[in-house]
Amino acid sequence: MNKINALDRLIKALKVLPNVGPKTAQRMAYQLLQHNRADAAELAAAIQHALQHVHHCRCCNTLCEEELCAICADENRDQTRLMIVQMPADVASMEEARCHDGVYFVLMGQVNPTQGMDLSHISPHQLLARLESSRITEIIIATNFTAEGDATAYVLAELLSRFPLKISRLSRGMPLGAELEYVDSGTLAQAVYERRQINHT
């Protein structure tokens, strides 16, 4: 068995990044090794440091260095309103839009039946445990307006139906196929303010 050389190993590693194919990974590897060796060393050190120190927040499941993220640790946040988003980047988008002063839960994934991605891909047990010991009265489902996001929202609504909570979802003013991370702040804020209730408590 031939041993993979260092350059090929780097190219293969870079391909794990979203939207990075073989050619892009190859160009990135050449750029780092030929022109940016000092930056490449800093990148490697930063990745190693993050792997050692970044973990999931005990309450909301986002990525942070402490036991609780800054939002969960903020006693001034509205503890009765929980927004469920798919990824940590969605929290950042919501915070930038300044349209939610409650708390969050980050699924770290989505439901996609066509790819065999079921409930186990969205941390259901941690979400339910969070609800069992909280003062939450309303849940805002803020999944993407894609087929996978719609499927995730449906599964969440069914999962949470046993709780006496008001459950709403972002307004359909969001563009079809939109991912929260790429929606402008104004549209995102409007979608939150005009959210629609999807259950009847």
* Domain coordinates in residue numbering, the chain: 6-53, 63-197
Q: Chain-centre distance of CA 60, in angstroms?
A: 11
Category of 39 on φ-ψ map: left (φ > 0), alpha (ψ -120 to 50) or beta: alpha
Q: Which fold does the domain 6-53 belong to in CATH?
A: Helicase, Ruva Protein; domain 3 (1.10.8)
What is the full per-residue pLDDT of the chain (201 aa) written as tens digits? 566 799 999 999 999 998 899 999 999 999 999 988 999 999 999 999 999 999 999 999 999 999 999 999 999 999 999 999 999 999 999 999 898 999 999 999 888 766 666 677 788 888 998 888 789 999 999 998 888 888 899 889 988 988 899 999 987 666 556 677 777 777 777 778 778 787 765
The pLDDT value recorded for residue 86 is: 93
Q: What pLDDT does residue 177 have?
A: 62
**Stated pTM of the model:** 0.80
What number of other Cβ atoms are within 10 A of residue 200's Cβ?
6
CATH of domain 63-197: 3.40.1360.10
The residues near 5 (Cβ < 8 Å, ≥ 6 apart) are: none
Count of C-beta atoms within a 10 Å radius of residue 89: 15
User: In this structure, are residues 85 and 169 in contact, taking their beta carbons and an 8 Å threshold?
Assistant: no
C-alpha to C-alpha distances, 51 to 16, 57, 198, nearest whole angstrom: 15, 15, 39
Strand intervals (E) in the chain: 55-56, 63-64, 78-85, 102-106, 138-141, 166-169, 196-197
Q: What is the pLDDT of residue 116?
A: 63
Which residues lie below 8 Å from residue 192, measured CB to CB, with a gap of 6+?
94, 97, 99, 100, 140, 142, 170, 171
